Structure 1
């Protein structure tokens, strides 16, 4: 990557508020707070780009509604062409999608996290997400300054890849709604 890439987690969704596990559920929309978080992410990127003297050329987003809405808000402030990439989706969580956080966390406690190839609840494994995020990042090429809008677990997998570790070996990275990481020879979180 010859230009900076910004990883953005979508803003708060309706299901975040309801404490429902989303995974690849396509339809949850942004809340008003989620729209504000997307606007804040765009401002962080704009401020960071002042030093670069660059502008956003491309915004690549997961095709899930909460990410697309975030990308549209970012594009309205920063410009850039929007492209959808299904590889940027959240981890598929199978039977856990649509269930409450408490039930999901209980299932997670019983899961063997030491084997990154095990699918979670009939969904994807950690390595599935890691591999597709690595491929999506590798395909960015040199389009100029790029914003990638994705999801918490997917961004954690991307950060593990960028840091050269497997997802089950990586330190836990908190990725709140609207978080922005700048990738340019390293990983730097903006606004933190």
Structure 2
């Protein structure tokens, strides 16, 4: 989905792979969590919406993007590497996992927001996919994407993934997810949201957003792909 982040933004505002371990009670007082959007996928290149699981793999360009992102970010000394159930995030995470000698822990809650009735359609005609998330940001999380989730359901499952990362004991983790999921969850949950960034700086492939905090105390946005 090559242009999906920008289309979504415009509508909203105007290495081994292992199963996730069981959550352990407790955790550090505060963690830093870096979300990275996956590299270019075959779905991005096609211009069609594909939110299926496991979904399409990344392209050759995507492999280069994943390597470049690893070179740029590996010096941050992440202590955990996470990805969604979708192949494109896992493939993007693999170079980082290899560089850090960490496994890729798969968390279902990090997956992309399902397009429902818009699945397989050209991005340019996917207005139904974008309308409900706009309502979520306006405070109506009961709005439902036709054939898909409402805001409460999306937020709860992404929260669950973040809680698992927190409960793991990692204090500086990197989680590979998807543009809409990252941008919406962060904007809906940080104490200093910048909704204008959805339009001004939608996440490109391998773009990143960094938050700090905890599930109990809340989250603060500290970096939106260099724009904050």
Q: Which TM bucket (shorter chain)?
A: 0.7 to 0.9
Q: Does 1:23 align with 2:78?
A: no
C-alpha distance in 2 between matches for 1:127 and 1:97: 21
Q: Does 1:187 align with 2:222?
A: yes
Q: CA deviation at 1:68?
A: 1.1
Structure 1 residue ranges without an equivalent (≥5)? 50-54
SS at match of 1:186: strand
C-alpha distance in 1 between matches for 2:225 and 2:130: 31
Alignment RMSD (CA, Å) = 2.6
Whether contact under 8 Å (2:132, 2:144) holds in the other structure is no
Q: CA deviation at 1:148?
A: 0.5
Q: Does 1:73 align with 2:95?
A: yes
Residue in 2 that maps onto 1:125: 150
**Structure 1 residues 81-96: aligned runs within 5 Å:** 81-96=103-118
C-alpha distance in 2 between matches for 1:160 and 1:126: 12
Q: CA deviation at 1:11?
A: 0.5
SS at match of 1:71: helix
Q: CA deviation at 1:45?
A: 1.7
Q: CA deviation at 1:12?
A: 0.7
**Structure 1 residues 159-170: aligned runs within 5 Å:** 159-164=186-191, 170=195
SS at match of 1:120: coil
Aligned residues: 183
Structure 1 residues 181 and 43: alpha-carbon distance in aligned structure 2, compared to 1, 3 A threshold? farther
Whether contact under 8 Å (1:44, 1:191) holds in the other structure is no
Structure 1 residues 73 and 112: alpha-carbon distance in aligned structure 2, compared to 1, 3 A threshold? closer
Q: CA deviation at 1:104?
A: 1.1
SS at match of 1:178: coil
- Name the stretch that deviates more: 143-152 or 61-70: 143-152
Structure 1 residues 104 and 165: alpha-carbon distance in aligned structure 2, compared to 1, 3 A threshold? farther
